[in-house]
Amino acid sequence: MIILPAIDLKKGRCVILTKGEFKSEKIYNEDPINQAEIFYEAGLNNLHIVDLDGALEGNLINLDIIKKIINKFDIKVEVGGGIRNDESISKLIDIGAEKIILGTEAIKDKNFLESSCKKYPKKIALALDVRKNNIAASGWKEQTNINVIDYLNLIKEFGVSRIIYTDIEKDGTNSGPNYNDSYEIANNFEIPLVVSGGISSIKDINKIISENQKIEGIIIGKAIYEKRISLEDLSKIK
């Protein structure tokens, strides 16, 4: 099981949102490089970074911070937020990002997703941010009528290397993830799945590990920052 602690960047700081609402923003660390170091020193070798400013603006805003983190630590970093064109993907590949997460543009333009997967094999991950079974876009501000399962059936042969499934209603709530919908995706599609949103305890993680072997990883944010889950415990998960 891949454990991915989350760093959500807004105005150069680590923040956490609740249910995707930007007005709920809470700052947890003014220095994201320091936060990455905390994770690295704890023995965690994967990191999930979202450029929230980028998601709102539609282009990479916090690239310099992301580059510094990748250069400073021997850690696999996946990056999302505001990646809407090939230039942004190329920039992230060049600085050493392990995976590039496409969201809004992939939802609006399936051809962009397909061509990106072909151009950058095993590098493109797909963010599916879901509210009541339908996909949201543009920093979660835009609610589409696209059903998540229907969309996956359309793109399942494109070569996406990872799906990151987030139940927006669970995100930042510490109420537990959406097990049922996560398992449905994992069981019906061959693309490796990472679960995000609502993880509140080691019990949540162990439940996923014991119940569904097809899930590749788990993203954890608020529960770490509020010390509901210790980094020591996370570092022991294999």
Catalytic residue ranges: 8, 129
Find tokens 């007005």 and name the residue: 23
In this structure, are residues 8 and 14 in contact, taking their beta carbons and an 8 Å threshold? yes
* Beta strands per DSSP E along 120-168: 124-131, 134-137, 142-147, 162-167
How far is 59 from 62, CA to CA, in rounded Å?
A: 9
Integer angstrom CA distances of residue 60 from 4, 37, 47, 86: 21, 22, 18, 12
> Backbone dihedral region of 209: left (phi > 0), alpha (psi from -120 to 50 degrees) or beta?
alpha
DSSP string across 149-162: HHHHHHHTTS---E
